[in-house]
Amino acid sequence: MRIILPAAIGLALAAATTLTSAADAPITTRRVDVVDRDFGLSLPDPYRWMEGENNAEFNAWLKVQGTASRAKLDALPTLEAWRRKLAAAAGASTEHGGHRLVGNRLFFLRAQAGKERALMVRNADGKERMIFDPNAAKGGASISGFSVSPDGGKVAVNLGHGGNEIGEIALYDTISGKQLTDTQKPVWSEFRASWLPDGSGFFYTRMRDAAAGDGDPMQGMGSYLHKLGQPQSADRLLARSGADDALKIAANDFPSIDAAPRSAWALLGIGGARASGRACIAPLADAVAGKAQWRCLVDDADNIQDTSLHGDTLLRSECERGQREGRRARAQGRRADHIRGRQGCAVPQVDARRVGPHRTHGLRQR
C-alpha cells in the first residue's frame, strides 16, 4: 500500500481550498429529471445524459472541464511544492501485490521506489528470492502479470518492453530463476496463461502477426494451446476472432480459454470493449486434443460480466443497469435448481447489496 505523508495531504487540502475559492464561477453542468424506482427506493440520476458510447455532448463537457481544471492547477503557487511532496511520499514506499500461494511457496510482485515491479517468491521457511528483475533487463521491461504452474515449479510471466502493452509470455524456472526457451508472442498484457491441471502446458491468447502498416493489430486474436518444450509454431489454434466457423467470434472480440484445478472442463470466454460477454464450455480433454465442440451457455444478451470454473461448477456474476441486481448462478450436477445468493453491485446514491434470482447450468458430458 502506498503511504502518503501527512504534509502531502495537507498540501492537497490547501490546493483544493484554493480551487474552490477561485473567482471564476464553476462550469455549469446540465442536469436531467431522471429517477429510477427500484426495491421501493427512488434513485435520482440527474447526469444520466453522460452515459452511452460516442456521446458527443459528454466528450465536449470533459474537454471543457479538463481545460479549465488544468488552467487552475497550473496557476497555483503551491503546485510545485505539492508535486515534490507527493513524489517524495510515493518514492519512500515499497509496494507488494499480486500474491499467489501455490503449495508452500508465495509468489508476488515487489515494487521499490522508482523501479518496475520484480517477481519474487517466498518459501515456507520465510526465505525470499527474486525470480525476475525487469529493471536489469536490457532496454528495460515491465511485468503486467504472471501465472504459476500447478506444482509451483514454473512461472509464465507477461512481459512488456519499452512501455509497450504488447509483449510476450516468458517462462521461468522457480528454483533457478532461469528463463526457459518457451516464449509466446505477440501477446497483449491483459491476457495471462492458464495452466493445464497437470502442468504440461497452458492456454493463452495471442495476437496475429500484423504486417507493416496494419491499421488495427488488436483484431483477429486467437486462443492457443502451448505444450512445454515445443516451438510456438506447433501451438494449436483452438478459437480465433473473425473466423467464419461455428463460434462466429467478431473480429474485434478477444477469445480466452481457461482451465481450472480439479475440473474436467475448459471455459472459453469471448469478450471485447463492453461489460458483458459470451461463455462456452467443452470437455478439457477435447480442447487439449483440438476437437472441442464448444457449448455456449452465456451470450451477450444475458448481461453476464464474469464467469469462472470451480470443478464442475460454472459461476456467473451479473449486475444489470436499471434493475441493478447482483446475481450469481451456480451450475452443478443434473438438476437445474433455482437458488439465491449475494453478489456486490454498485448502486448510485445507495450503499446496498441486491439479491436476485438465479439460474443454473448443469455441466454434464454428453
Residues 87 and 113 in one domain: no
Domain count, the chain: 3
Residues 241 and 366 in one domain: yes
Q: Could you give the dihedral angle defined by the CA atoms of residues 132, 119, 105 and 266, in that order, rounded to the nearest 10 degrees?
A: -100
Q: For the chain, give percent helix, strand, coil, nearest 5.
A: 20, 35, 45
Residue 175 included in any domain? yes
Tally of CA atoms within 13 A in the half-sphere of 237 that contains its CB: 12
Q: Which of 215, 160, 207, 202 is nearest to 187 (CA)?
A: 207
Residues 83 and 101 in one domain: no
Strand order in the sheet with 194-195: 194-195, 201-206, 222-227, 236-240
Residues 71 and 108 in one domain: no
- Which DSSP state fits 208? -
Residues 337 and 237 in one domain: yes
Among candidate residues 67, 91, 115, the one where a domain is terminated: 91
Cα–Cα distances in Å, from 366 out to 23, 145, 269, 282, 283?
72, 36, 21, 10, 10
Residues 9 and 86 in one domain: yes
Among candidate residues 91, 113, 144, the one where a domain is terminated: 91
Instruction: Provide the domain limits for residue 84.
Output: 1-21+59-91
Residues 76 and 102 in one domain: no
Residues 86 and 145 in one domain: no
Residue 278 included in any domain? yes
Which segments within 5-151 are labelled E, that is strand? 35-38, 41-44, 95-102, 105-111, 118-122, 128-132, 141-148
Residue 36 included in any domain? no
Show pLDDT as tens, one digit a residue, over the chain (366 residues): 333 344 443 444 444 444 444 446 667 899 999 998 877 888 999 999 999 878 999 999 999 999 999 999 999 999 999 999 988 887 778 889 999 999 999 999 999 887 899 999 999 999 999 999 999 998 889 999 999 999 999 999 999 988 888 999 999 999 999 999 999 999 999 899 999 999 999 999 999 877 766 667 788 999 999 999 999 999 999 999 999 999 999 999 999 999 999 999 999 999 998 888 999 999 999 999 999 999 999 999 888 888 999 888 888 876 544 333 333 333 333 222 222 223 333 222 222 222 222 333 445 443
Q: How far apart are CA 268 and CA 255, in angstroms?
A: 7
Pairing of β 128-132 and β 118-122: antiparallel
Residues 175 and 241 in one domain: no
Residue 165 included in any domain? yes
Residues 74 and 105 in one domain: no
Residues 78 and 114 in one domain: no
pTM beyond 0.75: the answer is no
Residue 203 included in any domain? no
